[in-house]
Structure 1
Amino acid sequence: MKSAAPSAGESVTGRGASITRAYEEIRDLIVYGRLAPGTRIIESDIAVHLGVSRTPVRSALHRLQQEGYITAVDRAKERRLVVAPLTQSDALELFLMVGQLEGLAARLAAEQPATDRAALVTQMRALNGDLASAGRSVPSVPSRFFELDMAFHRSYVVAAAGPRLLALHEAIKPQAERYTRLYVNSLVDEIGKSVTEHEEINRAIEMGDPEAAEKAVEANWRNAANRLAQVIDHHGERGRL
């Protein structure tokens, strides 16, 4: 079946831009928790909220479903879309996947010339130092921890990853962010452990040891998954269907 031609005044480029905008805005609503886990997704309501037609929203929702941000459930003989729940098993899978992707980026970073590695590690140590300071501050600001941790990891990904790796990272990482943003208040006491693990990453990249850099990043994410699992076990999963 042939796809419908663009309507009068609507270009393919314009339609593509509308889909991209709808996708990004809906994804942000989910990642930032403004659409809570388990919330029903009503296409017409989303279209009104974004100020666009239902066509780009439908395409955006299809992509978000493929990527795991939303899921379909059958209720009373009706198929509904809902924001994907936050569960221990899903968190473990996502964190390990991010660890693999970022581990590869760290390996590539450790293979860069010494001058490039030195500049990168200087940046990473500054971010990790700020994270350590934030962990000692009273009162604590959990959102600050989150932003500094994100910046630390993104620094070596951006510095070394190619376009394919970056695209995969951009697709997966925000899904892991959903967990960190929601449970960050309960992870404050674990900041010191993250800082120590980050320094292992710094040293490996500084020494130009690709294998050690990759393993250090994977260990950091694996440990983060275990810490998060304990928090979820205590506070409960969110939006389980």
Structure 2
Amino acid sequence: MSARMPASPTDESGGSQAVKAQLRLREMILAGELPGGTRIAELTLVERLGVSRTPIRAALMRLEQEGLLEALPNGGYAVRTFSERDVSDAIELRGTMEGLSARLAAERGVAPVVLADARACLGEIDAVLQQPALDDEAFTRYVALNQRFHVLLAEMAASPVLARELERVVNLPFASPSGFVVVQANSPRARDMLIVAQDQHRQVLDAVERREGARAEAIMREHSRIAQRNLREAVQAEGLHRMPGVRLIRQR
């Protein structure tokens, strides 16, 4: 395989600006600064974010692919809104695909180095959850490690086709494995919920190692139900101001 050519400084700078714009725009949408239905104009964003039109355009295209924006017939983009069913279906699809990934990993076998990485990741999550209550820094650490474990689990199937489709699913708004956990970050039940999720992580890794495909699949499908519960609680939460992005979800 030929070595990958390094990106030029111009490419790196342009890519960095596009990522910066994408992150900031996503933050603005989920923070409620750009409510559902808002039409987005490139020139306004250029002035607001202080970057050129090229990275703004790239960021808008990426957020359309994620599903947070929709392209308008006459040009430009608008912030999307979603039904509870849309989000619930996306989470269900993610659980189904992660279950398939886990089953294939168990049936095909996984390289010891990947299993070791997964065990190490779970060990770090255990360390975070040893705290009696999670502050913002610890919770942010949990979210990053949780994402890391799910990425490793997807790698275990060694299926580029499945990995590509799973990436598309988890990029759907609110369908990420950590998408709604943040709503309960400071609630009394938060740590208990994360401990349940962590036990499921341990169980699915055990099933993969034991080559128990059906068990691994069932665990990951059940695992997605935590996100389903988070969705319901987030939409019904009285303290909705803590996550304004939830307002993008129509209850009916």
TM-score in terms of structure 2 length: 0.68
Matched, 1:208 2:204: no
Residue type of the alignment partner of 1:222: R
Instruction: Compute the displacement of 1:82 (Å).
Output: 3.2
- Report what 2:221 is aligned to: 218
Which of 19, 22, 29 pairs up with 2:24? 29
Equivalent residues of 1:120, 1:159 under 8 A apart = no
Task: Note closer, same or farther for the CA distance 1:117–1:80 as it changes in structure 2 (3 Å cut).
Answer: closer
Aligned-pair identity in percent equals 21
After superposition, the C-alpha distances for 1:170-193 in whole angstroms (9 at most, x for unaligned) are 333243348437525257242122
In the alignment, structure 1 segments of 5+ residues that lack a partner are: 1-14
Matched, 1:94 2:94: no
SS in 2 for 1:82: strand
Query: How far, CA to CA, are the matches of 2:114 and 2:94 in structure 1?
Result: 22
Alignment of 1:51-130 (within 5 A): 51-53=51-53, 57-58=56-57, 60-62=59-61, 64-71=63-70, 81-85=77-81, 88-110=84-106, 111-113=108-110, 115=112, 118-130=115-127
- Report what 1:11 is aligned to: none
Residue type of the alignment partner of 2:28: R
Task: Note closer, same or farther for the CA distance 1:53–1:27 as it changes in structure 2 (3 Å cut).
Answer: closer
Equivalent residues of 1:146, 1:180 under 8 A apart = no
CA RMSD of aligned residues (A): 3.8
Instruction: Compute the displacement of 1:221 (Å).
Output: 0.8
Query: How far, CA to CA, are the matches of 2:133 and 2:214 in structure 1?
Result: 34
Query: How far, CA to CA, are the matches of 1:220 and 1:69 in structure 2?
Result: 24
Equivalent residues of 1:47, 1:57 under 8 A apart = yes
Query: How far, CA to CA, are the matches of 1:203 and 1:45 in structure 2?
Result: 51
Which of 206, 209, 232 pairs up with 2:235? 232
Residue type of the alignment partner of 2:150: H
Query: How far, CA to CA, are the matches of 1:163 and 1:210 in structure 2?
Result: 19
- Report what 2:161 is aligned to: 164
Residue type of the alignment partner of 1:188: A
Task: Note closer, same or farther for the CA distance 1:59–1:117 as it changes in structure 2 (3 Å cut).
Answer: closer
Query: How far, CA to CA, are the matches of 1:155 and 1:105 in structure 2?
Result: 11
Equivalent residues of 2:181, 2:230 under 8 A apart = no
TM-score in terms of structure 1 length: 0.70
Equivalent residues of 1:27, 1:69 under 8 A apart = no
Equivalent residues of 2:68, 2:79 under 8 A apart = yes
Equivalent residues of 1:120, 1:156 under 8 A apart = no
